[in-house]
Structures are given as structure tokens and as C-alpha cells.
Amino acid sequence: MLQHLSEWLVNTRLSGFVTGHSWVWPTCETLHFVGLALLVGNVGVLDLRLLGVEKRLPVAPLGRFVRWAILGFGINLITGILFFVGNPFQYVSNVAFAWKLAFMALAGINVAVFYATGMNRQVDLLGPGDDAPTAAKVTAGASLLLWIGVMYMGRMLPYIGNSF
């Protein structure tokens, strides 16, 4: 099924645009890095605070930066799709890509649990010096590990699976 999707994708105009213009791929790489910095930088600061780093900071102001993390995720989603459409064959059989997607899915579930359980409202009430609840610490730790996994597997794409 993925083989058929890949065959169809490489024959689309969008795939031709990505591969037919030498500036598209490096531009997407740069934007992907900026998106990653926005995402992991902002989420990472909040996660580290929940884990007890810089407990002098209240949590609520850090939560305001989540919108920048969402922007970063959006940038990465768009550029990631462009990478995939540009050359799907180098991704569909790459185990690093599969792991990257798995880590992203787990990170999405993790953030959904954080908001669906109301944990976000609990941690917003944490003032300077307050310790986060254990569940928030587990969620924050999982978030950091999962996003590190996404970054690592993204970096390993050319080296694992021999598809680049």
C-alpha cells in the first residue's frame, strides 16, 4: 500500500516542485530546524520546570509559550510532508522514519493526556517554589524523552535503513 502511495506521490506536481527546484529542499530543511527549535525549545522549558528545574519560576507564564511550540509543530508538519512528497521512497522503508513517526504519535498522546485530564490547569496554578504533581512530572519526562527520540530518529534517517 505504501509502495502504491509512493508511486502516486512522485508523479504529483508537488513532488515535481520539491525535486525540480534546487532551493526547495534546503529551505525546508532550514524551516524544519526553526520549527524544531520553536517546538522543543518552548515545550522543553515547560517540561524542565515541571521536573523541578528553576522552581523559582511560576508555571503559568511558561504556558503562554505553548502557542509558539504549536507554530513550530505546524512548520515541521508542513515541511515534513514536503520532504515525504518530494521523495517518499527514501522514507517508506526506513526504520528510522517509522520510529520517528512512532515517537511523534506517542508525544501527541502524551500531550493529549496532559490536556484531557486537566493536568494543564493544575500546573498553571504552580507558583514559584511549588513542586509539580507526580503525574505532571511523568508527563513532562515522557515529553522530553519522546521529543529527543523524534529528533534522534530524524537525524538518523540518512544513516539507518540505507535509503538516503
Run of H or E residues at 138: helix 134-156
Stretch 132-142: mean pLDDT, rounded? 97
Query: How do residues 120-135 score in pLDDT, each as one tens digit?
Result: 999 999 999 999 999 9
Tell me the pTM: 0.91
pLDDT(163) > 80:
no
Q: What is the mean pLDDT of residues 130-157?
A: 97
List alpha helices for 51-132, DSSP H.
Answer: 60-63, 66-86, 89-92, 95-116, 119-124
Residue 111 above 80 pLDDT? yes
Residue spans of the domains in the chain: they are: 2-156
Q: What is the mean pLDDT of residues 62-78?
A: 95
Grid cell for residue 149: 527520540
d(CA 142, CA 48) in angstroms, rounded, equals 11
